[in-house]
């Protein structure tokens, strides 16, 4: 007989490596979550909400094709992303991703009170024109 031996010779060392593998996976997950949190902090998303007087200066829609759907099914091929650019009284310009209903309801040149948290849109309340 050639090459005869116990086929289970390598099971022991492999089983001893399992706890190490679990530790490494947990460490990698921890590092990924930590990096994401730091990125959010850098963008200011964990900061408090900011409310300012602002004017709508630009609106745009970004249409992206979903490559995971059937090409013949038009209802599910495109995804719309709506952006509105606001200008604060200080001159600071801020482009925020908004919902379709907000995109449709605001008008270019409209003034109001903008609330946002970091780069996340919260609300825009247009100022009503007072009649004399």
Q: What is the DSSP string of 97-118?
A: EE-HHHHHH--TT-EEEEEEET
Lowest mean pLDDT among 6-10, 28-32, 96-100, 101-105: 6-10
C-alpha to C-alpha distance for 121 and 2, rounded to whole angstroms = 72
The pairing of strands 93-98 and 111-117 is: unpaired
Q: Which of 43-47, 102-106, 107-111 has the lowest mean pLDDT?
A: 43-47
* Per-residue pLDDT, 2: 55
* pTM for this entry: 0.61
Query: What pLDDT does residue 130 have?
Result: 41
Q: Element (H or E) spanning 95, and its range?
A: strand 93-98
What's the confidence (pLDDT) of residue 75? 62
Whether 116 shows a pLDDT value over 80: the answer reads: yes
Res 119 pLDDT > 80: yes
């Amino acid at each position: 007989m050639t090459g005869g031996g116990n086929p289970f010779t390598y099971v022991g060392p492999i089983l001893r490596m399992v706890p190490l593998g679990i530790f490494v996976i947990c460490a990698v997950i921890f590092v990924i979550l930590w990096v994401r949190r730091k990125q959010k902090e850098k963008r200011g998303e964990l900061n408090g909400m900011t409310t300012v007087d602002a004017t709508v200066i630009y609106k745009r829609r970004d249409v992206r094709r979903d490559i995971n759907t059937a090409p013949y099914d038009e209802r599910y091929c495109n995804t719309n992303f709506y952006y509105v650019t606001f200008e604060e009284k200080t001159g600071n310009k801020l482009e925020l991703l908004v919902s379709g209903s907000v995109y449709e309801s605001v008008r270019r040149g409209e003034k109001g009170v903008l609330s946002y948290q970091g780069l996340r849109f919260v609300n825009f309340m247009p100022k009503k024109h007072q009649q004399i």
